[in-house]
Amino acid sequence: MQGFNKYYPPDFDPQKHGSLNAYQGKHALGDRARKLDKGILIVRFELPFNIWCGTCNNHIGMGVRYNAEKKKIGNYYSTPIYSFRCKCHLCDGWFEIQTDPKAISGARQKDEEWDPAENGGFAVHETDPNQGPVDPLAALEKSTDAQNHMNNVQIPRIEALQNLSDHYSSDPYAHSLRVRKRFREKKKLDKAREEADEHIKSAYGLPETLALTTEDEESKAKAKEQWEQARQAMEERESAKRRRIGAEIAVLPSASSSRLSARATHSRAGGSSSSGDPVSALRAKILGNTARQAGSLGGLGRSKPPDAKSSNLKGGLVKRV
Ligand SMILES: [Zn+2]
């Protein structure tokens, strides 16, 4: 009998007994603590889900209450795990449910996953109608093809890439050395070319921003060709001029005899001709002047390309490197 009331018997001695429970020889929790020496407390336990009893195979609904033996069986980190051992009310079997939700023994939990169709939603169905049942041979063939592809294509490719990577990154010092050497050589060449350009520009008074072509066989041949063309054109002009003057002289006597006589007189007054014929004297003088001029121009042209007659100044000059 638990000490529910405050009746103190006449032989109760507070010094000796301490409390009414101790006087009665009972625990404060009464009968529920009768297995407390084994670490078991008997509590009222309510089934958290539907189960089938493992012994009688009856369905037991969620919410059925049992007097369960509660025992601490371990820890998940600092969280204690309790087990609740219940006796089936339909048979004599026992089942045990733990606070670790996966652990259940002596019974079977009813599989109650969320069903959207049952709860006003849409059921999930297979979306591909052509997909038949899985053919194990087809699946095997597929996996064999994948294996072959991996062995014959993917692995060699990865190995080739790995080799290439090793080749480029195995010796960074040698690569750096080679690159820097090449850079120095190129820099030296560029500097020499720049100095030669400056020299030519200052020698000919060319603008600083003028870009000079590089000297090679092609540009040399091109420049020579242009120079020859310009020289030929100049010679043609000179000969045409000469012919025109000759023709003018030939038609002079019939065109204007008065002017001719005046010019012939002037020419004779200069004393340049010893001949008595004024026309032939004038002609000889003009032709002589023209020939002298052409000769002097030709001499100039031989020493240097004819700048004034050249259509392309840049084409006539080549760099000396
Ligand atoms: Zn049962």
Q: How far does residue 230's CA lie from ligand 1's centre (Å)? A: 121
Q: How far apart (Å, rounded) are the C-alpha atoms in residues 307 and 320? A: 18
Contact 250, 260 (CB under 8 A): no
In which region does residue 222 sit, left (phi positive, over 0), alpha (psi from -120 to 50) or beta (all else)?
alpha
pLDDT score of 170: 84
- Residue ending a domain, choose from 110, 143, 162: 110
Whether residue 190 has pLDDT greater than 90: yes
Same domain, 41 and 81: yes
Average predicted confidence (pLDDT) for the chain: 80
Whether 154 is covered by a domain: the verdict is no
Report the range of poorest mean pLDDT among 45-59, 133-147, 250-264: 250-264
Report the range of poorest mean pLDDT among 147-156, 179-188, 257-266: 257-266
Q: How far does residue 70's CA lie from ligand 1's centre (Å)? A: 19
Give the number of domains in the chain.
3
The confidence band for 310, taking pLDDT boundaries of 50, 70 and 90, is very low
Whether 147 is covered by a domain: the verdict is no
Q: How far does residue 27's CA lie from ligand 1's centre (Å)? A: 32
pLDDT score of 173: 92
> Distances from the Cα of 7 to the Cαs of 11, 262, 295, in angstroms?
12, 176, 157
Whether 63 is covered by a domain: the verdict is yes
Report the range of poorest mean pLDDT among 147-156, 173-182, 214-223: 214-223
Whether 121 is covered by a domain: the verdict is no
Same domain, 242 and 201: no
Q: How far does residue 60's CA lie from ligand 1's centre (Å)? A: 8
Whether 193 is covered by a domain: the verdict is yes
Same domain, 192 and 249: no
Whether residue 296 has pLDDT greater than 90: no
Same domain, 262 and 193: no
Whether residue 321 has pLDDT greater than 70: no
DSSP state of 213: P
Q: How far does residue 43's CA lie from ligand 1's centre (Å)? A: 20
Q: What is the mean pLDDT of residues 164-173?
A: 88
pLDDT score of 112: 74
Whether residue 277 has pLDDT greater than 60: yes
Same domain, 89 and 56: yes
List of residues 6+ apart from 8 with CB closer than 8 A: 20
Please choose, from the candidates 207, 213, 167, the residue with its C-alpha nearest in 3D space to the C-alpha of residue 321: 213
Report the range of poorest mean pLDDT among 43-52, 80-89, 133-142: 133-142
Whether 304 is covered by a domain: the verdict is yes
Whether residue 164 has pLDDT greater than 70: yes
Same domain, 236 and 300: yes
Whether 102 is covered by a domain: the verdict is yes
Report the range of poorest mean pLDDT among 55-64, 250-259, 304-313: 304-313
Contact 27, 33 (CB under 8 A): yes
Q: How far does residue 187's CA lie from ligand 1's centre (Å)? A: 96
Whether residue 260 has pLDDT greater than 90: no
Whether residue 156 has pLDDT greater than 80: yes
pTM: 0.35
- Residue ending a domain, choose from 110, 141, 157: 110
The confidence band for 213, taking pLDDT boundaries of 50, 70 and 90, is confident
Contact 285, 273 (CB under 8 A): yes
Q: What is the mean pLDDT of residues 196-218?
A: 85
Q: How far does residue 292's CA lie from ligand 1's centre (Å)? A: 140
pLDDT score of 253: 59
Range of the domain at 194: 179-212
The residue ranking higher by pLDDT, 256 or 280, is: 280
Same domain, 270 and 207: no
- For residue 94, give the 3-state DSSP assignment: strand
pLDDT score of 315: 44
Same domain, 266 and 304: yes
> Distances from the Cα of 278 to the Cαs of 248, 261, 265, 266, in angstroms?
15, 8, 7, 10
Q: What is the mean pLDDT of residues 188-215?
A: 87
Please choose, from the candidates 278, 229, 285, the residue with its C-alpha nearest in 3D space to the C-alpha of residue 252: 278
- Torsion, Cα of 16, 19, 20, 22 (10° steps): -70
Same domain, 239 and 207: no
Same domain, 245 and 260: yes
Same domain, 80 and 63: yes
The confidence band for 67, taking pLDDT boundaries of 50, 70 and 90, is very high
**What is the token pair recorded at 47?**
């089934």
- Residues with C-beta atoms within 5 A of ion ligand 1: 53, 55-56, 88, 90-91, 93
Same domain, 258 and 304: yes
Chain centroid to Cα 272, Å, comes to: 88
Whether 204 is covered by a domain: the verdict is yes
- Residue ending a domain, choose from 61, 90, 110: 110
